[in-house]
Amino acid sequence: MTDIISAAPQLDTALFPDSFLWGAATAAYQIEGAVDEGGRAPSIWDTFSHSPGATRNGDTGDVACDHYHRWKTDLDIAYDIGLQAYRLSVSWARLQPDGEGPLNPEAIDFYRQLLGGLAERGIRPFVTLYHWDMPQVLEVAGGWPARRTAERFADYARLTVDALGDLAEDWITVNEPWCSSFNGYHAGTHAPGRRDLGAAVAAAHHLNVAHGLAVRSIREGAHPQVRIGVANLITDVVAASDRHDDIEAAARIDANNNLMFLAPPYLGHYPAVVHDLYDRYGLESLIQPGDLKTISTPTDFVGVNHYHQMVVSSDPSDPHLGASFTHAEPASTSLGWSIKPESLRNVLCRVSQEFTELPLYVTESGASFHDETDHEGNVIDIERIGYLHGYFGAAAEAIAAGVDVRGYFVWSLLDNFEWGEGYSHRFGLTYIDYETQTRIQKASAKWYRIQIARHSGQPKYGDRANSGIVPQ
């Protein structure tokens, strides 16, 4: 194993600023399990994953990585890797099971222990308020297509930051509103599994509003000084050819996937191309006076989630955007996503040039493979090391080009429940044997530890030396 890792390509860590944060990310429903414990109510993902045919193999997050009971072990792994920052999400369905009213004290207690555990280990938390697990009761009341849900979210956000903001200074409102709205309400591949484009457009606008209302309500709360951002999935969209119809098709995909969620918070408007696509589905009539001002309430940083490039061709048989896409390279992950590091550099440069000069964090990037243990019980994921080497290198190129990239959260710390794909694709630095809940640090985790140590030598947050925790 050691030979393999030392033969692997090493990062030029001098290219990253001293304060650069080396992190990893997870999300509550994907790892916690314990769906019936601690006063948690069902979320849309419980309902969806238990619907016949909704997920691959009928997989659910009922147990997942059992992180709810094993969080100390998992934080020890994060510590052992040397993570300086950890992005987690808190579960709305756990914290506010009724979707309104006071928070559930057992959930507050759980998350306070978890955040306290990070502090003890000198790891800086970035906490996402909405990583897709809305209480089912709110979906029954209309879900994201109903404007009221955005108001409910802002209340939940404020209560949560009031309860936990002394333990976490960095907060992310919403994770990937494109996925929640278009996968959840149009494609039907994510919870709640609806197939209604008008509902998806309404969901998209209300998720944008929810973000802005949450920023405002957090600022009025007990910890107004916390730093806040939103994490968007930003795809590098390119036309398959220089034919006019391919270029137009790529522009429509870019409008739907990127501009609809990037322009309102930073530029204060929906671009004409978004109106062209969605006014006939009610976008203009959904926008109430003051909405764009709310959505563009100032924030402190931008979360960039990035995975792959999309090569787009015109496709008149597609009734939605008249487009189809493929991946650029023969190299791809188990999900068929292209491995093309320059696309990360492209999106980082684009966000800073076209949308905002706020600091950027890569809040997610990573690769899935069908990892297996070898005869010695090791997981030698050379391809993931190659991916991380390439994508961290691309972040360094963006930094060299003047982009203020402050950190990178590898998706993911642990193998976990990959939404509609269930457990069939593994993104973790840590292998999970789901039968026994054994954790095995993959070669990529050991490689990552070496890169972090080479860059810093020292932890960047808290004082690990005084934490009483001895590295293994």
Q: Annotated active-site positions, please? A: 176, 364
Task: Select 139 or 418, whichever has its Cβ closest to ligand FCB.
Answer: 418
Least distance CB 410 / ligand FCB (angstroms) = 11
Task: Select 117 or 366, whichever has its Cβ closest to ligand FCB.
Answer: 366
CB distance 159 to 102 below 8 Å = yes
What tokens were used for 295? 């959505």
- Helix, strand or coil for residue 191? coil
Selected from 410, 418, 442, 464, the binder of ligand FCB by CB under 6 A is: 418
Task: Select 176 or 397, whichever has its Cβ closest to ligand FCB.
Answer: 176
Task: Select 257 or 305, whichever has its Cβ closest to ligand FCB.
Answer: 305
DSSP structure string for 295-363 = HT---S-EEEE---EEEEEE-TT-TTTSEEEE-S-S-B-TT--B--THHHHHHHHHIIIII--S-EEEE
CB distance 55 to 151 below 8 Å = no
Asked whether position 133 contacts ligand FCB by CB under 6 A, the answer is no
Least distance CB 154 / ligand FCB (angstroms) = 21
Find, among 79, 111, 74, 75, the residue nearest to 92 by Cα.
111
Selected from 361, 427, 431, 447, the binder of ligand FCB by CB under 6 A is: 427
In angstroms, the CA 310 to CA 250 distance is 9
Selected from 27, 114, 403, 443, the binder of ligand FCB by CB under 6 A is: 27
Site string for ligand FCB, 304-343 (x = CB under 6 A): -x--------------------------------------
Least distance CB 314 / ligand FCB (angstroms) = 26
Task: Select 181 or 313, whichever has its Cβ closest to ligand FCB.
Answer: 181
Task: Select 16 or 409, whichever has its Cβ closest to ligand FCB.
Answer: 409
| Residue whose structure tokens are 């095995």 | 440
What tokens were used for 130? 């909405």
Site string for ligand FCB, 170-209 (x = CB under 6 A): -----xx--x------------------------------
List strand residue ranges (DSSP E) for 31-184, in order.
Answer: 85-89, 124-130, 170-175
What secondary structure letter does DSSP report for 211? H
Least distance CB 318 / ligand FCB (angstroms) = 21
Asked whether position 419 contacts ligand FCB by CB under 6 A, the answer is yes
| Residue whose structure tokens are 């990253």 | 16
Amino acid, single-letter form, for residue 371 = D
Task: Select 175 or 441, whichever has its Cβ closest to ligand FCB.
Answer: 175
Least distance CB 330 / ligand FCB (angstroms) = 21
Selected from 387, 411, 423, 431, the binder of ligand FCB by CB under 6 A is: 411
Least distance CB 179 / ligand FCB (angstroms) = 5
Least distance CB 415 / ligand FCB (angstroms) = 11
Asked whether position 139 contacts ligand FCB by CB under 6 A, the answer is no
Which helix or strand (DSSP H or E) is residue 25 part of? strand 21-25
Report the 10 Å Cβ neighbour count for 351.
24
Least distance CB 469 / ligand FCB (angstroms) = 28
Task: Select 68 or 427, whichever has its Cβ closest to ligand FCB.
Answer: 427
Asked whether position 59 contacts ligand FCB by CB under 6 A, the answer is no
The number of C-alpha atoms within 13 Å of 407 and in the hemisphere containing its C-beta is: 26
Task: Select 128 or 356, whichever has its Cβ closest to ligand FCB.
Answer: 128
- Phi-psi region for residue 448, left (φ > 0), alpha (ψ -120 to 50) or beta? alpha
Amino acid, single-letter form, for residue 104 = N
CB distance 413 to 73 below 8 Å = no
Least distance CB 416 / ligand FCB (angstroms) = 8
Site string for ligand FCB, 339-378 (x = CB under 6 A): -------------------------x--------------
In angstroms, the CA 142 to CA 158 distance is 22
Site string for ligand FCB, 287-306 (x = CB under 6 A): ------------------x-
Report the 10 Å Cβ neighbour count for 101.
11
What secondary structure letter does DSSP report for 41? P
What secondary structure letter does DSSP report for 369? B
Burial of 63 (0-12, 13-18, 19+ CB in 10 A): middle
In angstroms, the CA 318 to CA 316 distance is 5
Contacting positions for ligand FCB (CB under 6 A):
27, 30, 175-176, 179, 233, 305, 364, 411, 418-419, 427
